[in-house]
């Protein structure tokens, strides 16, 4: 009687252990175990990271665009026509003449 009880108990433990081992195969893995693709855009041969802005020149027109993802592909999304530039106002230009500092004559 004890032999049958021990045999049944050992079979039950084996079944539980096997079920846990099978379940472990299908558990979700943490994201850190998956290699993330190295996605980026290019502008005139230079690498531009996702989310960064760049001025694109296409068919003689310039516009500001952002590097974004669309359907798992990096792409440029137009933000505005033209590209932002920095300019000195006339007062700042008058304060720093280029001839005095050895610039263009």
Tens-place pLDDT, residues 27-85: 666 666 666 778 899 998 899 999 999 999 989 899 999 999 998 899 999 999 988 87
CA distance 54 to 77: 10
Question: Is the distance from CB of 67 to CB of 41 less than 8 angstroms?
Answer: yes
5 confidence band (pLDDT: 50, 70, 90): confident
User: DSSP string of 4-48?
Assistant: HHHHHHHHHHHHHHHHHHHHHHTSPPPGGGSPPP--EEEETTEEE
Nearest to 55 by CA among 73, 69, 41: 41
For residue 23, pLDDT over 90 is answered with no
């Amino acid at each position: 009687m004890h032999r049958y009880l021990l045999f049944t108990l050992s079979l039950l433990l084996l079944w539980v252990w096997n079920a846990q081992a099978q379940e472990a195969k299908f558990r979700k893995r943490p994201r850190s175990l998956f290699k993330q693709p190295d996605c980026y855009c290019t502008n005139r041969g230079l690498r531009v990271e996702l989310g960064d802005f760049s001025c694109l020149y296409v068919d003689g027109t310039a516009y500001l665009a952002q590097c974004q993802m669309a359907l798992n592909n990096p792409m440029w999304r137009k933000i505005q026509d033209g590209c932002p530039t920095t300019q000195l106002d006339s007062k700042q230009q008058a304060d720093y003449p280029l001839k005095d500092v050895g610039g263009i004559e």
